[in-house]
Structure 1
């Protein structure tokens, strides 16, 4: 499966910094325990070809390299400087380096904003000095960097193989873990590594763009504890993931995004689940467990993508075939439905007792001829119902388990699998129980770029990532954003009035905004005095009505007794008015009550929620899920960054675990999914048009077989942009 990586023109300024032709080491040391010494060792041992300028006023030479007494003594501009001195010295050093024309620095020292207010002040001084001198800053508080294809090994790590995995990690220990794992694997290598540290200047989006343009990187891999600028990262990821795979392991939840919020959307936004959804929205492959990082990165780097999620399993053991089937189903993959022609071709070469229904169990047919497994793989790969091929069992160990003279058959089988992988667009993935001991046939597969895994679980996670990426790329070929929504002058004036009065929008105002931009909202009446109920009763006739208090001070109306339902006639309306006023005064004697909102009761349907929150990291985010009182309990919701494309909106509806409720469970009519997609797109357009809108809750929206109705609406205004 030879995927040629597209050549991307260099636009990132990091190329000169991460692939430098000259390096200064500020704080170079003759002490073997110091980073200024280890960096010299890494450069010299790896054969760095550029100029090395160790700066140390007390030593004449370090490791045979002539030192310089000061930054001022640098012979000319330098691409990169490694700063190994204490935190307090860094701003002044960067200012000096800027005057000498240094393009970038790696700041190892800690003691900046991670330590508190004083450290934050020092970090700002670092940034100010860097900007004044035109210097880009990696770190501070970074573990360092290497670029193995350019012989730049500032970490002095031994036995790290150059390869095609670019890795950016906020954890130095995670790098060490992957390096050791790669060493055991024996076939995986790295292109560039950077520890972003505090991301004072250069952030994840900058590193991702560099890896996307780097000719030596086939897969960009990131370990992330926290994004600094989520919106810029999502934009970079959308562009880069179209060119090469991007793998992210996100640790924990985005605590910066959590805030005390009174709405359902605000309570759920900022979660780990939200971050995962937003990353997947732009084509990122998200791994859930740290031990999956390297297997998935390797598999995506080698194979890039699969046409879809239909997997054909070839196995030489029924038990492992069953396990593989379970894991595939759990990962959202399908067992491909083999055609009758494929089954007939398999039957012609397998024993009668073999199972021809996917998973295909050869049932001993390969015991004397392990190359037969490759023939089976070739047959199923030609089936148009198959998107990827998964070999499960003991291939590579036949010569060990049965007879040494089977080694030739295994090697022939391996060569056939390699040829299949090279000519087919359908990825070939191998799990073998003999993988840990690396027998010859498996070594040959791995060397030729056919990934071999030590567990079924790793292999399945790779197959899932390949299928997800292939589907994403295909579906987004023609994906475009809807036209922008023009804000209404009346609605802008409404936001201004709310700002001037120090409040958020009343419900009827929120619904007016929705109605102005084409969202279906039920008819309603705002009643400010009991006598107005006479006209309301006449207007709605025998319809059952709902009455809700209008007050900027009462956020949860039901809790305050501010909601009455199923009201018919003037007498019932007057009684409800009196009860609402009494209950709300008891709830908050000082509440500013502006009357009530009367609207017809919604007919029965499926309750969903649509919400928007402006996340401090990722910007405006839209949420969709089942509505009512259970939204925060079930948390079966989907998130997407705004603005949404039609594909984004459709994928939100299809993502819910409880989507069968929308499709018509237990004889109920299916809801109009197209109408819900239209609703999500219109909400996205409104949020993009009105930066004054900070948070929105439509809960519930009643979904019907022929449309929907937004029953309740709440909008919190963004006073920062008013």
Structure 2
């Protein structure tokens, strides 16, 4: 039994609501077109063992069950009320629920916050009453709920059977799609379903916590359009994914997370990719396509995890083996390198024309003896270099394709596969082109808990999810965290002054704050008068310098002509100083110019960006990616919520698609990745220390190879945006 004992200290109050011993159906009806009718039918036909209280002032009985004119007049005290009435009636009914001790209400009606100001006012009124009376709200604007292990089916869906997949979906049609897909699959069942609707009260984090605790749920599956409290969801997700898999399909981008692009980080935050990265950081398995939801949920529910991402492919057809290898590579999995001993053992059981490389192609060896596939699985499963096994081909169809007499051999092979899978921590995933017709051998595998897929792509997505989950769980066992940094008094004073003045930190102030916390910054001089340049030219001894305008009113210095590069000697410095002053005044005559910042030119290297934004949905989020002027064009970035662990920081660097750039191209040495990891950890500490920082942009940061300098990076530009006075 999977529970979250020790992870979530207080039992979720949703158990009483989602598994109630009594249900009131307000608006119960004998009219088959009404939801009050369907709910009654679902409860009666589903065999619900609790008390049913139909509420209808115009009927004595509904479908043979005694009805009551109101909640006030019903004799019992059910934990749950289903409200099948118009939106305007809801606030009064919630008050009545509260007076009768009803703990929760499912509100089907639309016409609340999703419809505009008037609906939002009605929703606010409803919630004020609900809180005053201690009534929890599912919805409003919800498709309903079911709990099949307790015979509760308020949707009256046909042909859904109890199982171990829990679902929370903001789309009723998506639930219907999954239910029909499960019916076709024949082996998949559901535990609890809830449509969260507007999430006026109970949100995704509450439902996930319940599914995490529910003994009938082995995998929690969510279709999400938008989170109400993403930060809390991530916290709950980390607890739940430690015990059981969580699958999320996220539709679109988080509109609430979008904000004005005051920085590169701000421009990229709120994106779909950010949401996906943060979910995966919490151990969630994110699926990209809607038709992957049920296959991945089934695979994770049955197999849970793989030790890693090294896959051995066994195939009875070269073409499908090639397709499988392509899809595995695209999914970030690797073809396991089979040991010499494994390959030698395979050669002993296969025909000479068979290939014992990975993918293993049996090349006709199994045509007269399908159980040979089980022998191959046993051999590769024993290889220490293999984390999971992928059987690809026509298993289940040998007796149909070649000879009926092969049926017994196929069944013996399937039975052996079941034994092997049950004895190993390495998952066995099967694709068969005969899966749609469900021959006996495949039915035996499925009944024993082995998923069988009719799509190579779906099977590979399951293998990827198993490998990702296994690596995530392993990383949680060796978490390395760094204690939060204490804020420096000078830093606190600097941020307080900027906040009071309604401005952000100037560049030299931002770099000064970084230096306060041990982050390497280049030598630089703030120049307010032209005559100060002579001393700088003398002490830099012919080194090329950069000069940038310093002004709280000029955010994009290059656009204003406020940047001059490769300046050597006093005369060029003076010319640049005059030009920058002139350009800045022309760009914004009212701009307050503090002076110019002079610094040695950074040597060429790989440009990266590090940024932070306090997202309104997910809280503080760090970004790392390929930097420079192309950051918003290429968008090769990774996001993580704060605070970071060492594993988080390392995974951010490893996630970039531009790994070849980081590793060095055209003979160049690769950058010092560990220096970047350390810098990410220091920035995480810095942001934790100063909640006044709303955004941070270090762009570009020039990354260098090991041994280049003390830090092996150079922060060329730094911006720190300060939270404004409310």
Shorter-normalised TM range: over 0.9
Q: Structure 1 residue 435: deviation in Å?
A: 0.5
For 1:111 and 1:539, the matched residues in 2 are separated by: 72
Within-5 A mapping of 1:194-593: 194-593=194-593
For 2:501 and 2:468, the matched residues in 1 are separated by: 49
Structure 2 SS opposite 1:666: coil
- Counterpart of 2:718 in structure 1 is 713
Q: Structure 1 residue 76: deviation in Å?
A: 4.0
For 1:550 and 1:580, the matched residues in 2 are separated by: 10
Deviation sequence 1:623-648 (CA, Å, 0-9, x none): 10111111111110110011100100
Deviation sequence 1:644-700 (CA, Å, 0-9, x none): 001000000000010221122221122111111111011111111111101111001
- Counterpart of 1:634 in structure 2 is 634
For 2:619 and 2:502, the matched residues in 1 are separated by: 24
Deviation sequence 1:156-187 (CA, Å, 0-9, x none): 01100100000000000000000000000000
8 Å CA contact 2:4, 2:212 repeated in 1 = no
The more displaced of 393-402 and 702-711 is 702-711
For 1:446 and 1:401, the matched residues in 2 are separated by: 21
For 2:648 and 2:163, the matched residues in 1 are separated by: 35
Structure 2 SS opposite 1:667: coil
Structure 1 SS opposite 2:124: helix
Q: Structure 1 residue 703: deviation in Å?
A: 1.0
Deviation sequence 1:450-471 (CA, Å, 0-9, x none): 1100011111110010011001
Structure 1 SS opposite 2:559: coil
For 2:248 and 2:99, the matched residues in 1 are separated by: 37
Q: Structure 1 residue 100: deviation in Å?
A: 1.3
Answer yes or no: is 1:129 the counterpart of 2:141.
no
- Counterpart of 2:695 in structure 1 is 695
8 Å CA contact 1:283, 1:469 repeated in 2 = yes
Q: Structure 1 residue 720: deviation in Å?
A: 4.9
Q: Structure 1 residue 8: deviation in Å?
A: 3.9
The more displaced of 400-409 and 24-33 is 24-33
RMSD: 1.2
Q: Structure 1 residue 539: deviation in Å?
A: 3.6
Deviation sequence 1:196-238 (CA, Å, 0-9, x none): 0000000000000000000000000000000000000000111
8 Å CA contact 2:3, 2:214 repeated in 1 = no
Structure 2 SS opposite 1:73: coil
For 1:712 and 1:374, the matched residues in 2 are separated by: 60
8 Å CA contact 1:27, 1:54 repeated in 2 = yes
Q: Structure 1 residue 255: deviation in Å?
A: 1.6
Structure 2 SS opposite 1:198: coil
8 Å CA contact 2:3, 2:212 repeated in 1 = no
The more displaced of 475-484 and 572-581 is 475-484
Flag structure 2 segments of 5+ consecutive residues without an equivalent. Answer: 707-711
Q: Structure 1 residue 704: deviation in Å?
A: 1.3
For 1:539 and 1:81, the matched residues in 2 are separated by: 80
For 2:659 and 2:682, the matched residues in 1 are separated by: 21
Q: Structure 1 residue 262: deviation in Å?
A: 2.4
8 Å CA contact 2:692, 2:723 repeated in 1 = yes
Q: Residue 528 and residue 361 in structure 1: after superposition, are their counterparts in 2 closer, same or farther (change >3 A)?
A: same
For 1:436 and 1:589, the matched residues in 2 are separated by: 72
Within-5 A mapping of 1:616-655: 616-655=616-655
Q: Structure 1 residue 117: deviation in Å?
A: 0.9
8 Å CA contact 2:27, 2:56 repeated in 1 = yes
8 Å CA contact 2:4, 2:243 repeated in 1 = no
Q: Structure 1 residue 7: deviation in Å?
A: 6.4
Structure 1 SS opposite 2:349: coil
Flag structure 1 segments of 5+ consecutive residues without an equivalent. Answer: none
Q: Structure 1 residue 481: deviation in Å?
A: 2.7
- TM-score (norm. length: structure 1): 0.98
For 1:76 and 1:44, the matched residues in 2 are separated by: 18
Structure 2 SS opposite 1:597: strand
Q: Structure 1 residue 569: deviation in Å?
A: 2.3
> Which runs of structure 1 show a deviation greater than 3 angstroms over 4 or more consecutive aligned residues?
4-10
For 1:232 and 1:163, the matched residues in 2 are separated by: 28
Answer yes or no: is 1:192 the counterpart of 2:192.
yes
8 Å CA contact 2:695, 2:720 repeated in 1 = yes
Within-5 A mapping of 1:67-106: 67-106=67-106
Q: Structure 1 residue 57: deviation in Å?
A: 1.1
- Counterpart of 1:164 in structure 2 is 164
For 2:470 and 2:5, the matched residues in 1 are separated by: 20
8 Å CA contact 2:306, 2:467 repeated in 1 = yes
8 Å CA contact 1:171, 1:195 repeated in 2 = yes
For 2:183 and 2:5, the matched residues in 1 are separated by: 30
Q: Residue 76 and residue 262 in structure 1: after superposition, are their counterparts in 2 closer, same or farther (change >3 A)?
A: same
8 Å CA contact 1:8, 1:212 repeated in 2 = no
8 Å CA contact 2:693, 2:722 repeated in 1 = yes
For 2:345 and 2:655, the matched residues in 1 are separated by: 38
The more displaced of 702-711 and 428-437 is 702-711
- Counterpart of 1:119 in structure 2 is 119
Structure 2 SS opposite 1:177: helix
For 1:483 and 1:520, the matched residues in 2 are separated by: 20
8 Å CA contact 1:7, 1:215 repeated in 2 = no
Deviation sequence 1:126-172 (CA, Å, 0-9, x none): 11111101111000000000000000100001100100000000000
8 Å CA contact 1:26, 1:55 repeated in 2 = yes
Answer yes or no: is 1:181 the counterpart of 2:181.
yes
Q: Structure 1 residue 567: deviation in Å?
A: 1.4
For 2:377 and 2:502, the matched residues in 1 are separated by: 69
For 1:502 and 1:372, the matched residues in 2 are separated by: 75
Structure 1 SS opposite 2:260: coil
For 2:361 and 2:562, the matched residues in 1 are separated by: 65
- Counterpart of 2:54 in structure 1 is 54
Structure 2 SS opposite 1:319: helix
8 Å CA contact 2:612, 2:622 repeated in 1 = yes
8 Å CA contact 1:553, 1:592 repeated in 2 = yes
- Counterpart of 2:709 in structure 1 is none
Q: Structure 1 residue 570: deviation in Å?
A: 2.2
Deviation sequence 1:391-437 (CA, Å, 0-9, x none): 11011001100111100001001100111110010001111000111
Deviation sequence 1:340-371 (CA, Å, 0-9, x none): 11111111111111111111111111111111
Structure 1 SS opposite 2:293: helix
The more displaced of 233-242 and 662-671 is 662-671
Q: Structure 1 residue 276: deviation in Å?
A: 0.6
For 1:719 and 1:481, the matched residues in 2 are separated by: 31
Deviation sequence 1:281-337 (CA, Å, 0-9, x none): 010000000000000000000000000111111111111111111111111111111
